[in-house]
Amino acid sequence: MLQSRWAAKVRARILETLFPSHCVGCAERGSWLCAACLSGLRQCGSGFCPGCLRPSTDGRPCLTCVAACPLTQLFAACPYRQNPLARAVESLKYTGVQALADPLAELLIAHLEHFRYAGAWSKAFDAVIPVPLHRRRLLARGYQQAALLAVPVAQHFSWPLREDVLFRVRATRPQVGLPQRTRLKNVRGAFSVSGMAPRRVLLVDDVVTTASTMRACAQALRDAGSHEVVALALAHG
């Protein structure tokens, strides 16, 4: 992972020389997402039930989902279908523009701070864990977009970033375009935990649609001893 981060940094530097940064929203030079475009993004005003994804004031499961949901809470910072967010997430995911991760992570941090202020959560997390890619996909891509977002969050709150706990042991088809039922089947049993799972986990991903992946991760963590798994995504939709 260290080596791939280093390789990713070198690649980012080469890219910056060849293609100087310009905002994915307004094309202004100097950054990949300028402050004006970042602050103009619509944000989610509530959390979501981690089972059925209906809005939930404090991100906890609704009465229908509570018994069977391995996730304790679910938060997503912004609705996905708005520009330039969708474009920024695509760029982060597919073109390796990693300088985008820092401004996008600011949205995650602000969102968590907002809900801490509102009393939706209070205790510190024992681990910040990005939703892992399968090793093969990580090797092909050279970086993991969820980890790029998780690093600044962990640093901001001084919680340990743990990439040695949760692993994707089975390569899965991308969830995009799959119907909900197939998504669940696609990721079931795809994750495993190495050693003792931390007690309170903050699970970070870029986009949450049905939360099947987040729930599969949470199930693996709970089976390995986690007491609480809170999911935080950049975008919902």
Question: Which residues of the chain form contacts with Zn ion (CB under 5 A)?
Answer: 23, 25-26, 34, 37, 49, 51-52, 62, 65
Q: How far is the CB of 185 from Zn ion (least distance, A)?
A: 20
| Least Å from the CB of residue 167 to Zn ion | 28
Of the two residues 110 and 124, which places its CB atom closer to Zn ion in the complex? Answer: 110
Minimal distance, residue 39 CB to Zn ion, in Å: 10
Neighbour-count burial of 217, counting CB atoms closer than 10 A to its CB (0-12 exposed, 13-18 middle, 19+ buried): buried
- 1 versus 66: smaller Cβ distance to Zn ion: 66
Nearer to Zn ion, 105 or 129 (CB): 105
Least distance (Å) between residue 50 CB and Zn ion:
8
In the sheet where 55-56 sits, what is the strand order?
55-56, 47-48, 73-79, 228-236, 200-208, 127-130
Q: How many other C-beta atoms are found inside a 10 Å radius of the C-beta of residue 151?
A: 18
Tell me how far apart the alpha carbons of residues 232 and 202 are, in angstroms, rounded to a whole number. 7
| 54 or 227: CB nearest Zn ion | 54
Residue 202: name the closest of 153, 136, 156, 155 by CA: 153
Please, what is the angle between helix 180-187 and helix 212-223, to 10°? 30
Residues 137/180/194/146 CA torsion (nearest 10 deg)? 50
Q: What is the SS3 assignment for 200?
A: strand
Whether 40 contacts 103, CB under 8 Å: no
Q: Of 25 and 132, which has the nearer Cβ to Zn ion?
A: 25
The span from the CA of 28 to the CA of 16, in Å, is 15
Shortest approach of Zn ion to residue 157 CB, angstroms? 27
Residue 49 or 146 having the CB closest to Zn ion: 49
Q: How far is the CB of 46 from Zn ion (least distance, A)?
A: 13
